[in-house]
Homo-oligomer: A and B are copies of this chain.
């Protein structure tokens, strides 16, 4: 209703497809759902599906465009202390909490119900890792090893917390798990003395 004004309409179909994808996959499992099924359920064509999402997994895990914008802002607002790892942890903590309207739990349940998915869990948050990667590259441009370690370790913490988390109450809340995960990992600059 009202006039969707193109851009709004586009966002609407985007969400329609993602919703359909998540629903169907949650019902039948990833492999048992074809792109065609999803497209049909969303009321569009197969070809249109690929106009919106480059791959089948993307339809499940790509972030809502509005959320993606907020993530970018978050990265831009990140603190810049002497401790790059601490700064990155700050970003990580910010990533999840604000935008969560339950989709995180849905995805976690997906992974739980269909183990085939665990391998996607990594690539799942690829967009997050990409954002962190560019951040790290800008942060320590003269030390690529350090930069890669930072994003890699943060990614490891994120996915460890995500996989350990049980949204239906078996464990602590996700943010607490993530805190613990981040707290038990340290990435020091190459020259620093450890322990």
Contacts and interface: CB of A to CB of B under 8 A. Distances in A.
B184 A185 contact: no
B164 A157 contact: no
B180 A186 contact: no
Contacts of A159: 148, 152
Chain A binding surface SS class: helix
A122 interface: yes
A180 to B, nearest CB: 6
Integer count of this chain's copies in the complex:
2
A156 interface: yes
Interface centre among A155, A180, A184, A195 (most CB of B within 10 A): A184
A145 B186 contact: no
A179 to B, nearest CB: 11
- Nearest 9 pairs of A and B residues by beta carbon: A152-B156, A148-B160, A186-B186, A145-B164, A149-B160, A184-B188, A153-B156, A144-B164, A156-B156
Interface of A: 119, 122-123, 144-146, 148-149, 152-153, 155-157, 159-161, 163-164, 177, 180-181, 183-190, 192, 194-195
